[in-house]
Chains A and B, each alone.
Chain A
Amino acid sequence: MRIPGIGIHVGTGGALVASRLSDYEIDTIFSVPGSQVLPIWDALDGGIRVVVPRSERHAAFMAEGYGQACGFPAVLMNTLGPGVANELVGLASAKKSATPVLAVAPYQPEWKYSRIPEVFQGLDAPAFVRSVCKEARVAESAESIAPVLDEAFRSCLASPSGPVHMEISFPTLFARSASRPGSPPSANGRKAVAEPLLVSGVPDQKAPEPWKKLGLGGKERSLAPGMGPKYAIPFALGAKFAAMNSPVAAAVPASGLLEHLDSLATAQAWNIPVRLLCAGSPEEPLERTAEAFGIRIEKLSKEVELGSASLRDPRALALIVV
């Protein structure tokens, strides 16, 4: 049923956030729903994709993958309390890999600060995330949304780049505002991703294992999550969102596959073909995963096959199970 006449989305704090993100030509946000982020979602124009991963933790790793692929702040937007809490390890990963991630989250209004423990989903978020981010900034009014967002953006990109958390008083997101911010400062640096991307769990290596062994790592660009191989799958999927027309391949441990079926579900929801490649006999978790998602396992017998099978398809996310 549609209920006419209720719901406002024009001129609210949420609309200010959406509009400022458009000013920066943000085209993708990674966001798991929460009631308090709805004013922003509702005001987003058609130019911004809302990618909804199946957990905030993996959303944060997807943001890291996206930000590392394009060198521009990836926008992560989860709800307050447990939503922000689940970002923690992904933000720390982005800090370790010096990846620009702008995490925007609703926050409790100032008048609730003194009783946070009795507030529903109450958490002192700035204190909670500060050690895994470059900065944690709070916008308590509609007027401060654009300036704080501008500062956060700048800080994300300032060397060394990294994650910045921005909290916004959630009643402000719902309330009408007369605030009309001017043009944002220019923020250059977004890289168009045209080359194939290789994801492994080893940071700071141009052609890490197993790529060298497989004769790869030349023209392809290597990416890696700061926290190591465990989160390579959501990280690679995030990179894929920055490179929808370039092949993306990731080396993933077979033992970790069952922890990341959500990434496969998210990829399928966005019509991103997932290819499962395996050098030896597929182990049981791999077979069961393939069956659950209707994916055929491709067996690798020669190095050359790897190049042809996984890296030729520009639409695909290839997971090479090692």
Chain B
Amino acid sequence: MFSSEAAAADSKDGRWTLLHDAQAAAYAADGYARSTDRPALVLAQGTAEALELTSALVTSWGDKLPVVAVALVPKEEFSLVQGALSTVSRSLTILKGTGGAQEALAKAAEDAPREGPFAVLAAEGTIDVDGIGAAWETALQTAPRQTSAQTGCQKSDVAQVAALLRGFSRPVIVAGRGAIRSTDAQALSDLAQSLGAPVLLTSSATTMPAGRLAEYRRAFEGGALLPAGTMVWPKALAGADGVLALGTALSEVDWFGLKTLRLARGRLIRVADKPAAKEFGKPFVQADVPAFVRALVSELGNGRGQSSSISHWRKAGERWQKALAKVAGEGEKLSYIEPNFAAYQIVQNAPENALFTSEGGSCGMWLWTYLWLRPLVFPVQHGTIGVPIPMTAGIQAGQPGAPVWGIVGDGAFFYNAADLAASAKNGPRVYFVFNDSSWSAIRLGQTFMYSGRYVGTDIAQTDYAKIARAYGCETAACTTPGELLSALKQARQHKGEKPFVVDVRLRKDHVPYAGVNFVLAELDGATTSLAAQSAVGATLSLVRGRLTPRALRGLITVGR
């Protein structure tokens, strides 16, 4: 249960997690739902708070998270809130009087895990904060745990898909969060072995809850489980002649511009519990994904697949990781900090049980590059910025004691920095501010599309360590690799109730390895209008070409 400090000021219930405002509270609820797959409740009181909450709910809506939002608004101002709230919730319940909250929350708690968020709008004064808290607790206790809209699968569908899959020589499986949430890891691993196919996790699936991720890592030891956000992923997809997409509608985030460039040409078979807004599977099979996977394994039998394909992609992944580590390692000899060195060292030095979080800027892209199947809480579909600090409150509410290490960009540092002031007893919080005095993800577009004409993307040099001290944080600032390593040592030992904030000074105009693709995905639909042939060319060479440390070194400095 999450709320702003103001909204729950009169509460006597200690279960509320309080944030500085309703937008931050909604991001905290998002972080909880995202990192646990369990429903979270967020409350707003008053029109301004309801609108703050709604602005954050967009992010949960994009990733279909089980967030339930309750907005208490003066009745005469319902019209200001209603349109936006209904646009970003699967269902909006408007309570007419004092009753109905229990029923509305019970329905939301039942339906949200399948596809959220849900919203309830009620008149201010008709129900108090603790009444909502009590109703939510009851709703959670009574809601049935059903995560799929389907309960089984048709034998004929299984046979049809198996026959098609047998005809492919280079199949891949793309697994979405809808599949990962409920499918037994071993069953998916068995299917991959049967087909001789690597499993490509979508961006949403890559950010699955930590416990689930551990199960998948165990089940795929010796197999090929490829996380999104790495160049091996689009290479595997581009090379496939058949794609079995499970529990995913394959959003633009997953395609990374491959469709626009006509690089992904394999036949796409889609299995999910409901059709996409504009269905594109050929065929599309509506089924309960776990049941379908089990039936398909049985239909295909064991040992039919080409294990050499699995081995090929596992080795490709290992080569990629080694190449990235080698390039990052070279950064230690420099007199300044390269972002790849920083991201690599942050991942290497984090405690084993650390949960990572970041945002949709270049700092997030760097973190994706080096995480390689360590747990990440990230706003995938909207790439929202300014979220890691409030999301941490939700992550640690769901996993008390776990350290959270976040990477935030300097551009978005201030969005929700006020929550740095909060004390927390749920575990250590460490944030690294990638401080390159620029809106670097957007600047990337100016580098590639506008001949390096930089308008508005410079940020005045700011001392984030000093500002974090204004919020009462412990801090460190580093400008050299040695200083960063020393700060990392402090970060590992940090146990305080206030966050530890590290100001990491970077040079401008670095290009995250996935950055070119990120720009192309973002501009899907406009790429044919662009004269950004260098961007297209760079993507082609990355997808088709050989990955070498030298090539990476060239890429990181292309913006300088």
Chain A interface residues (CB < 8 Å from chain B):
1-9, 31, 33-36, 38, 41-42, 44, 50, 52, 54-55, 57, 81-82, 85-89, 92-93, 95, 108-109, 111-112, 114-124, 127-132, 170-171, 173-176, 227-228, 230, 258-259, 261-262, 265, 268-269, 285, 288-289, 291-292
Residues of A within 8 A of B381 (CB): 120-122
Say yes or no: B560 contacts A1, CB within 8 Å: yes
Q: Is the CB of B252 within 8 A of A118?
A: yes
In chain B between 249 and 297, which residues have their CB closer than 8 angstroms to a CB of chain A?
249-253, 276-278
Q: How far is the CA of A9 from the CA of B338 in the complex (A)?
A: 32
Assess whether B449 is in contact with A7, with CB atoms less than 8 Å apart.
yes
CB-contact partner of A2 in B411, B452, B533, under 8 A: B452
Q: A33-B456, A36-B523, A171-B529 are in contact. Are A9 and B382 (CB under 8 A)?
A: no
- The CA-CA distance from A92 to B71 in the complex, in Å, is 16
| Selected contact of A131 from candidates B79, B382, B453, CB within 8 Å | B79
Residue from A3, A33, A82, A123 in contact with B447 in the complex, judged by beta carbons closer than 8 Å: A3
Residue from A52, A89, A170, A288 in contact with B51 in the complex, judged by beta carbons closer than 8 Å: A89
A256 vs chain B, min Cβ distance (A)? 9
User: Most chain-A Cβ atoms within 10 A of its Cβ — which of B58, B80, B251, B418?
Assistant: B58
Residues B470 and A3 in contact, CB atoms below 8 Å apart: no
CB neighbours of A82 from chain B (8 A): 55, 58-59, 382-385
Q: Which of B459-490 contact A (CB under 8 A)?
A: 459-460, 462-463, 466-467, 469-472
Chain A residues positioned under 8 Å from B48 (CB to CB): 89, 92-93, 227-228, 230
Chain B residues positioned under 8 Å from A289 (CB to CB): 470
A118–B521 alpha-carbon span in the complex (Å): 12
Q: Does B97 contact A (CB under 8 A)?
A: no
- Minimum distance in angstroms from B64 CB to a CB of chain A: 8
Contact at B249–A118, with CB atoms within 8 Å? yes
CB <8 Å contact, B448 and A3: yes
Give CA–CA (A295, B88) in the complex, Å.
42
CB-based contact A6/B451 at 8 Å? yes
A127 closest partner in B (C-beta): B87
A6 touching B531, Cβ below 8 Å: yes
Determine how close the nearest CB of chain B comes to the CB of A45; give it in whole angstroms.
11
A128 to B87, Cβ gap below 8 A?
yes
Taking CB atoms, residues of chain B closer than 8 Å to A6 are 448-451, 531-534
Which among A41, A57, A95, A129 is the interface contact of B84 at CB below 8 angstroms?
A129
Q: Which of A89, A261, A292 counts the most chain B CB atoms within 10 A?
A: A89
Q: How far is the CB of B526 from chain A (nearest CB, A)?
A: 4
A131:B414 contact, CB within 8 angstroms: no
Q: Verify if B362 is at the interface (C-beta below 8 Å from A).
A: no
Contact A174 B523 (CB under 8 A): yes
Other contacts beyond A2-B451, A115-B277, A265-B414: 11, CB < 8 A:
A7-B531, A33-B442, A42-B453, A81-B62, A85-B88, A119-B251, A121-B383, A123-B62, A258-B421, A261-B417, A292-B470
A101 to chain B, nearest CB (A): 15
Query: Nearest-CB distance from B50 to chain A (Å)?
Result: 9
B159 in contact (CB, < 8 A): no
CB of B336 closer than 8 Å to a CB of A:
no
Is B14 among interface residues, defined by CB-CB distance under 8 A?
A: no
Q: Are B456 and A41 in contact (CB-based, < 8 A)?
A: yes
A114 engages B521 (CB within 8 Å) = no
Minimum CB distance partner of A90 in chain B: B51
At the interface, yes or no: B47 with Cβ under 8 Å from chain A?
yes
Q: How large is the interface on B (under 10, 10 to 19, 20 to 34, 35 or more residues)?
A: 35 or more
B526→A55 contact, CB < 8 A: no
Question: What is the CB-to-nearest-CB distance from B171 to chain A, in angstroms, rounded to a whole number?
Answer: 23
Question: Contact mask B499-525 → A, CB, 8 Å, 1/0?
Answer: 000000000000000000001011111
A34 to B55, CA, bound (A): 17
Closest 4 CB pairs of A and B: A262-B414, A131-B83, A7-B450, A89-B51
Known contacts A7-B532, A38-B446, A292 near B460 by CB under 8 Å: no
Contact of B88 among A7, A31, A123 (CB under 8 A): A123
State the CA gap A231–B455 with chains docked (Å). Answer: 27
- Considering the complex, which residues of chain B in the window 510-560 have a beta carbon less than 8 Å from any beta carbon of chain A? 519, 521-526, 529-534, 557-560
Contacts of B415 on A, CB cut-off 8 Å?
A: 54-55, 57, 262
Chain B nearest Cβ from A273, distance in angstroms: 15
Give the residues in chain A near B311, CB-CB below 8 Å.
Answer: none
Q: Enumerate chain B residues within 8 angstroms of A123, measured Cβ to Cβ.
A: 58, 62, 87-88, 382
0 or 1 for each of B384-407: is its CB under 8 Å from A? (1 = yes): 111000000000000000000000
A residues near B447, Cβ cutoff 8 Å = 1, 3
Contacts of B472 in A (CB 8 A): 288
Query: B471 to chain A: which residues have CB within 8 Å?
Result: 258, 288
B251 CB contact (under 8 Å) in A2, A120, A227, A291: A120
Please tell me if the beta carbons of B469 and A292 are within 8 angstroms of each other in the complex.
yes
Check B51–A175 contact: CB distance below 8 A: no
> Chain A nearest CB: distance from B29 CB in Å?
16
Q: How far is the CA of A227 from the CA of B49 in the complex (A)?
A: 10
Does B54 sit at the interface, judged by CB under 8 A? yes
Q: Which of A34, A44, A131, A288 touches B82 (beta carbons < 8 Å)?
A: A131
CB-CB under 8 A from A130, the residues of chain B are: 83
Q: Is B23 an interface residue (CB 8 A)?
A: yes
